[in-house]
Amino acid sequence: MIKLSIVSYLNSLPFLKGLQKSSLSSRLTISEDAPAVCADKISSGAADIGLVPVAVLPTLPSYSIVSDYCIGCIGEVYSVLLLSDVPLHEITHIKLDYQSRTSVQLVRILAQHHWKISPKWEDSTSGFEAKITGTTAGVVIGDRAMVERKKHSYIYDLGTAWFDMTGLPFVFAVWIATLPPNEELIVALNSAFAEGIGSIPELVAGIKVPFATPEEIKKYLEHYIQYDYGSEQQKGMTLFLDYVRTLPELH
């Protein structure tokens, strides 16, 4: 069996449903995980294939990108946010979402090169969203961001900020394998993902969540999230990783 780790957010549901309906389903053991856990499973060998946060790639000894699809955006992404009760230049502290390494690196790059602010960075644990108050802002990602965005006066979309700074798409996660898979597997994965993405309207009808209407979910998956991993996405990812290499260690 092939061990596959997939992010347990709304934006990866088309991938999951495509895999479940594909010819690969009988060959896969699928686990649904937070982004950081996907990365850990790939790093430790607990998964063979994973939807892995891009910021983790430089830490891996070897890997292959195994799909023409990713989790990305071209401008606004809607679910990767810096939330605050005060404007950017009044922020003194930023809490960093414990579930995502890529978004943590992205907000640090934007703070330094785009917004020109120097907040104190704070690690977080479960429930940190309640501590976003006063001059303490927070990076919140995924489904939780759709809930928390309604609670704060200032919403800074990290996808929008990246596009404003670079003019390029942003890639949050890519499909990788730690060992080069065969061509048949890559073709099967791409086929499954294409099927899932093409089935978003039917998929939405079966999603019931308290934080978004079916119409909002459909717009999110079809408009905000961009699944293609093409040449512009590769340029954006390369630039991001170049910036990551210049970031100082957090203390």
Percent of all residues in the chain with a pLDDT value above 90, rounded to a whole number: 80
Fold (topology level) of 2-72+169-236: D-Maltodextrin-Binding Protein; domain 2 (3.40.190)
d(CA 195, CA 13): 12
Beta-carbon contacts of residue 208 (< 8 Å; ≥ 6 apart): none
CA 88, distance to chain mean position in Å, is 23
Count Cα neighbours of 176 within 13 Å in the Cβ-side half-sphere.
23
213-220 — which CB contacts under 8 Å span 24+ positions?
217/10, 220/10, 220/11, 220/78, 220/79, 220/146
Q: What string of pLDDT tens digits covers the 251 residues of the chain?
A: 999 999 888 999 999 999 999 989 999 999 999 888 898 999 899 999 999 999 999 988 889 999 999 999 999 999 999 999 999 999 999 999 988 889 999 999 999 999 999 999 999 989 999 999 999 999 999 989 999 999 999 999 999 999 999 999 999 999 999 877 789 999 999 999 999 999 999 999 888 888 889 999 999 999 999 999 999 999 999 999 999 999 988 76
Domain range list for the chain: 2-72+169-236, 80-166
Please write the tens of the pLDDT for every residue from 83-98: 999 999 999 999 999 8
- Which CATH class, in words, describes the domain spanning 80-166? alpha beta
Query: Is the pTM value of this prediction over 0.75?
Result: yes
First-residue to last-residue Cα distance in the chain: 41
Alpha helices per DSSP H over the chain? 13-21, 35-44, 101-110, 142-148, 158-166, 183-198, 200-205, 214-219, 231-246
Closest-CA residue to 25 (of 35, 37, 15) = 15
d(CA 204, CA 193): 16
